[in-house]
Each structure stands twice: as C-alpha cells, then as structure tokens.
Amino acid sequence: GNFDIIPNILHKRITLRGASGVHTSGGQEFEEYYAHLKKAYPDLQYQIEEILVEGNKAAVKLSYSGTHKGVVFEIQPTFNKINYQDLLFVPLSITVLQMFGCLVKNMP
C-alpha cells in the first residue's frame, strides 16, 4: 500500500484501540500496525459497508477479509481465510474527515 498518504489522511492525535489489545497513537504507529497486518494477511481487503454521521460523530461499519499467511501477534500462519466486521466510532473534530478513501462531511 501507499503508506506515504497516512500523514495526510489521519489526524496526528488519532488513536486506535483494537480488540486484540493493540493501542496505537498517531499516524506513524498506525502505519506500523497496518504494515504488520499486511505481512500476516497479504491479501487483506476491507469494504466500507455503511457510514452514519450525527452531530460531531461518525460510525463506520467495515468488513475485512484475507488469508492468514504470516505471523500475527505471535500466532503462526494457519492459511485459513478470515472474514469479520468492525464498527468504528470517530469524533469529527474537523470539518471533513477523510478515512479509508472516503470523505465524511460534518454537517452542523
């Protein structure tokens, strides 16, 4: 992927708290986490299912799929396919949030 765009699309104070116990803060840490996932799941794909915006918050429903071909969180490759959904809640502290290639406008 093109990691050079991460500083342009993620706020410098963005944090990620994943179900696996992962906690990242800022674009650099997110970039490292995403690179780790792409090594474990080289065919990782995501799809935005739905975006809901209310006031200064957005909810983003995502679907992920891929094949476990590399070590992830000390788990050796299983070569099993994964499919899961995730729900992100994002505060919109800026007028336009660009996330995963989509624009979400904060409408007052």
Do the Cβ atoms of 93 and 11 come closer than 8 Å?
Answer: yes
Tell me how far apart the alpha carbons of residues 28 and 44 are, in angstroms, rounded to a whole number. 20
Domain that includes residue 64, residue range: 3-105
More confident residue, 18 or 46: 46
pLDDT averaged over the chain?
A: 77
Q: Is the pTM of this model over 0.75?
A: no
Please identify which residue in the block is written with the tokens 């809901």. 52
Sequence-ordered alpha helix ranges (H) in 6-84 = 6-9, 27-40
Q: How many domains in the chain?
A: 1
Q: Each residue of 51-77: pLDDT tens digit?
A: 888 887 888 888 889 999 999 988 999
Give the CATH number for residue 95.
Answer: 3.10.450.50
pLDDT recorded at residue 2:
58
